[in-house]
Structure 1
Amino acid sequence: MKTQSLKNQPLNKQAGFTLVELIIVIVILGILAVVAAPRFLNLQGDANASTLEGLQGSIRSGMNIVNGKSIIASEQKEATATVAVDTGDVATVYGYPAATQAAFEAFLDVKFAADNTADFNLDDSAGDGTLIIYPNSYVKTDDCRIDYKQATAAVTTTAPIKTVVTAPVVTLVTDGC
Structure 2
Amino acid sequence: MKAIAARKEKGFTLIELVMVIVILGILAAFALPRFANLGGEARASTIQGAFGSVKSASAIAHSKCLASGTCNAAAANSSAALEGGSVDMVYGYPAATGTGIQAAAQIAAGDFTIDTTSTPGTLLIQANGATTATSCQVSYEPAADASTPPVISSTTSGC
Q: TM-score normalised to the size of structure 1?
A: 0.72
What residue is the counterpart of 1:97 in the other structure?
94
Whether 2:53 is the aligned partner of 1:71: answer: no
Q: Letter of the 1:77 partner, please give it.
A: A
CA apart distance, 1:127: 5.6
Identity %: 40
Match of 1:33 among 2, 7, 28: 28
CA RMSD in angstroms comes to 2.8
Q: Contact (CA 8 Å) 1:63, 1:96: kept in 2 or not?
A: yes
Match of 2:137 among 145, 160, 163: 145
Deviation digits for residues 40-97 of structure 1, max 9, x if unmatched? 2333333222222222222111111110122124622322322221242222222111
CA apart distance, 1:29: 0.9
Deviation digits for residues 96-149 of structure 1, max 9, x if unmatched? 11111221343123332xxxxx11121111464212111333487342211112
Q: Contact (CA 8 Å) 1:94, 1:151: kept in 2 or not?
A: yes
Task: Using the TM superposition, name which of 138-147 and 165-174 deviates more.
Answer: 138-147
What residue is the counterpart of 1:115 in the other structure?
none
Task: Using the TM superposition, name which of 60-69 and 121-130 deviates more.
Answer: 121-130
Q: Which has the higher helix share?
A: 2
Runs of 4+ in 1 over 3 A off after TM superposition: 10-21, 138-142
Greater length-normalized contact order (CA 8 Å, ≥ 6 residues apart): 2
Whether 2:15 is the aligned partner of 1:20: answer: yes
1:55-70 counterparts in 2 under 5 A? 55-70=50-65
CA apart distance, 1:31: 1.3
3-state SS, counterpart of residue 110 of structure 1: coil
What residue is the counterpart of 1:129 in the other structure?
121
The structure whose Rg is larger is 1
3-state SS, counterpart of residue 37 of structure 1: helix
3-state SS, counterpart of residue 111 of structure 1: coil
Whether 2:67 is the aligned partner of 1:85: answer: no
CA apart distance, 1:37: 1.3
Whether 2:152 is the aligned partner of 1:174: answer: no
Q: Which segments of 5 or more consecutive residues in structure 1 lack a partner in the other structure?
A: 113-117, 154-162
In the alignment of these two chains, the number of paired residues is 157
